[in-house]
Amino acid sequence: MFKKLGLAVLFIALGSVTALAADFNGKWTAQVETPRGTQDITFNFHVNGAALTGTISTPRGDMAIQDGKVDGNNISFDQVLHFNGNEFKITYTGKAEGADAIQFSRQFGDRGAQEFTAKKGAASSASPNQ
C-alpha cells in the first residue's frame, strides 16, 4: 500500500516538474543589432526531452543548430559559420521569459556577449533588446 502511494506521489512530482519547463518548440524571431545594422533571425526549435535540434535562419541562409540542450527554462546551442575556409562558432544561451519570449545572450569568440530577446511567432513581433 505504501509502495503504491509512494509511486503515485513520485509520478505527480515528476509531472509537476515537467509542467514547469518552458515550451521552446516552434518558430521564434528576433532582431539583433550588429555593426552592419539590424539583423533578423528566425529560430525553428524542436525539443525532444533535453535535446534541442532545429535551424537558425539569417540573411546568410539556414544553418543547423548544434549541441542543443534544454534544461527547464534554460536553452543553449551553437551556430557554426563557415567563411573563407574558416569555421566560427557562436554560442547561444537563453532563458524563457514567460510563454512567448526568450532572453538570449550570444558569444562570438572574444567579443563581448550580445543580448537580445526572441519572441514566439512572426518576425513583426520581435523587438531589439540591448
Nearest to 71 by CA among 5, 110, 17, 1: 17
Residues 6 or more apart whose Cβ sits within 8 Å of residue 68: 45, 51, 52, 53, 54, 75, 76, 77, 78
CATH number at residue 101: 2.40.128.20
Distance CA(27)–CA(46), nearest Å, equals: 9
62 is a domain residue: yes
Count of structural domains within the chain: 1
pLDDT in tens, 13-56: 444 444 457 899 999 999 998 888 899 999 999 999 999 999 99
pLDDT of residue 13: 47
Closest residue by Cα to residue 109 from 129, 91, 127, 83: 91
Q: What's the mean pLDDT in 2-19?
A: 51
Instruction: Say if 63 falls within a structural domain.
Output: yes
Q: Show the domain range for 67.
A: 23-123
Domain annotation covers residue 12? no
**pTM tops 0.85, yes or no:** no
Residue at 88 is within a domain: yes
Domain presence at residue 16:
no
**pLDDT band at residue 72 under the 50/70/90 scheme:** very high
Task: Report the C-alpha gap between 117 and 112 in whole angstroms.
Answer: 17
